[in-house]
Homo-oligomer: A and B are copies of this chain.
Amino acid sequence: MDLNFTVTATDPSSKGRLGMFRTAHGDIQTPVFMPVGTQAAVKTLDPAEVDALDYRVILANTYHLYLRPGHEVIRDLGGLHRFMGWNGSILTDSGGFQVFSLRDLVKISEEGVRFASHLDGSRHLLTPERAIEIQEALGADIIMAFDEMATPEQSPARVLEAAHRTTRWAARCLETRRRPDQALFAITQGGFDPRLREQSARELTALPFDGYAIGGLSVGESKEVMAAMIEATEPLLPTDKPRYLMGVGTPDDLVRLVARGVDMFDCVMPTRNARNGSLFTGEGKISIKNARFARDEGPLDPECGCAACARFSRAYLRHLFMAGEILALRLNTIHNLRFYQRRMEAIREAIRRGSLGEWAARLEREGA
């Protein structure tokens, strides 16, 4: 298997860089935004539509697919790509983030995490070994080491312990992995303490992972705190491996954080906002519910040209949304994902031109 990441250009005005990430299912241009397909579907969309939006990699959730339909079902049906009819690349998270989000239903030990399913209360044990076994059964192109995420309200000692344990668990994941066609990424942690972030990055980069994620962010902290944590982590990450910031972010976050050296992003924002009627346009975010669109025959965004903007008026999109028509959710999702794709194209173009730093600095000044 020819897994490979190459930096093809760097931006003299920022830490932004262009790269090509080769996986078992094709080449991914970085920086890249990955739509979220939690339950083996990017919500509301057919995989052919995701492909038509020029996305080459999507994310799926190990926790959800393990519980339903079960990773063995998916393995026996030929793996996740075949199961969901998607021939591009797939990244699966480790399940850690979802499991820790269950809070009261969770018991952590060195072995792993015991938790109760949010679906039926059934009890499960997720360990580093098990997380790899599940992800190998699913068969994604990029898989994540099982990490422990400390929550912001926990003590520094607890955050440190979680970071150390994340390293030990990551080492067990490396030991366990068998499939050479999957890239395995570690997830750096360290809460909101720059020294702990550095510590976590040092420990994990001493191990031979195929890429490094920055985890535990985008959980309610300020933009300044997020930036500081990335600033503490990024210089320690090897330049020849992809860097993935999990769960981020707004279109402007993408600009500012590519400029801070991030190569990969995922976020439910474009798809979830779409289903709530919140749409990204060149003029900023709009709510399609707004009464001022009731007779508006113009497209959502004249600069866009997506399957929604090219064919339907704001008035029709508003009508569909107000009437509770599922087609509204589809068209909104296509639009927002197209907006994100155009944003990533503009970011890559800015790196080529050496102007990303200026763009990011302007956004920082504007507080965007």
Contact = CB atoms under 8 A, between A and B. Distances in A.
Given A73-B294, A76-B295, A295-B73, A39 B85 contact: no
Given A83-B315, A85-B311, A312-B85, A69 B294 contact: yes
A97 interface: no
Contact of A83 (B294, B313, B325): B313
Interface residues of A, number: 37
A135 to B, nearest CB: 18
A319 interface: yes
A296 B84 CA distance: 14
Contact of A68 (B40, B84, B319, B329): B319
Contact of A325 (B39, B73, B312, B323): B39
Given A39-B323, A325-B39, A315 B44 contact: no
A209 interface: no
A322 interface: yes
A49 to B, nearest CB: 9
Contacts of A294: 69, 73
B327 A41 contact: yes
A323 B73 contact: no
A326 interface: yes
Interface string A294-321: 1101000000000100011101101110
Contact of A327 (B45, B64, B312): B45
Contacts of A45: 327
B327 A326 contact: no
A28 to B, nearest CB: 23
A43 B329 CA distance: 12
How many copies of this kind of chain does the complex include? 2
A77 interface: yes
A40 B68 CA distance: 35
A202 interface: no
Given A77-B295, A77-B297, A316 B84 contact: yes
B46 A85 contact: no
Given A326-B330, A327-B46, A313 B77 contact: yes
A209 to B, nearest CB: 31
Contact of A43 (B313, B318, B325): B325
A329 B326 contact: yes
A329 B69 CA distance: 18
Contacts of A311: 85
A298 to B, nearest CB: 11
A297 B85 CA distance: 12
A294 B313 CA distance: 41
A73 B313 CA distance: 12
Rank and list the top 10 A-B pairs by shortest CB-CB distance, nearest first: A39-B323, A69-B319, A44-B326, A41-B327, A41-B325, A85-B311, A77-B297, A83-B316, A77-B315, A326-B326
20 contacts: A39-B319, A40-B320, A40-B323, A41-B323, A43-B326, A43-B327, A44-B326, A46-B327, A64-B323, A68-B322, A68-B323, A69-B294, A73-B294, A77-B313, A77-B315, A77-B316, A83-B316, A85-B311, A85-B316, A326-B330
